[in-house]
Amino acid sequence: MPQSPALTYSEANTIDYTPSAATAGGTVVILNGMAGIAVNDIAADIKGSLAVEGIFKLPKTTAAIVRGLPIHWNATGSPDSGDASSGAANQLGVGIYVGVAAEASGSGDDYAFVILNQPSPSVTTATVTATTGGATTGLIAAGATFVTITSDSADKQISLPVGAVGQVLRILVGTTACELISAVAADKVNEVAVGATNELALTAEALYTCVYTKSGFWIVTGLTKLGAAQAALVPDGL
């Protein structure tokens, strides 16, 4: 018996939307976790259209945007340029997931370039070489989820990337220890700010799990090479 045929509903990547209140063109609309952008002004109780695919410029907070990482929409967030609490995109995990950053944006830029409703990036691996200051080869790439570390000195550093709430990053240290800081100066690891004055010592051949739990906060736990849990990890002075 042949399958009942699938039929074209929309070739413009739009869906019908009838708002209860007047909605201006360009408004971000969240429908049960799916993001849409009003194509044109829509009067109250009149059918209009929402775009649900494509790359859009969404007003963003003052924080920088990293290409390839998830974007959330906070309906009460304050944009870099615009009315306070009128809604803003961010990479802090605040609000509803709406897609992935198509381009990088600086902290002072007004917009985030978002691939609307794009699935969140999959697991990626990387190799990072610790360096003095944790920059260049010591910076963990945005979006990496499993990182193997090489180092030639226990005093050299690696840097956590800009985080997104819920992000889980695992770090496997090689035969030489290193120190962990963050590329974001205000970030805390286990309630201690890292980078400017503090760093977390990572022991050789240990496995660390870093979870970004809320804006600016990482919780880091460790296992020895034998699988034993390390004691509570506390960053200390440089």
Q: What is the domain range of residue 53?
A: 14-116
Indicate whether 99 and 39 sit together in one domain. Answer: yes
Indicate whether 139 and 106 sit together in one domain. Answer: no
Torsion-angle region of 143 (φ positive above 0: left; ψ -120 to 50: alpha; else: beta): left
**In this structure, what CATH number is given to the domain that contains residue 131?**
2.60.120
* Cα–Cα distance, 217 to 202 (Å, whole number): 18
What's the pLDDT at 186? 85
Indicate whether 89 and 164 sit together in one domain. Answer: no
Does this model's pTM top 0.85? My answer is: no
Total count of domains within the chain: 2
What's the pLDDT at 144? 84
What's the pLDDT at 122? 65
Q: Divide the 238 residues of the chain into consecutive groups of 10 and give the mean pLDDT of each group.
A: 82 91 96 94 96 96 85 93 93 85 92 93 83 90 88 96 86 97 91 88 96 92 94 88
Give a yes or no: residue 235 inside a domain: no
Indicate whether 185 and 93 sit together in one domain. Answer: no
Beta bridge partners of 202: 178
Find out whether 90 and 72 touch, Cβ atoms under 8 Å.
Answer: yes
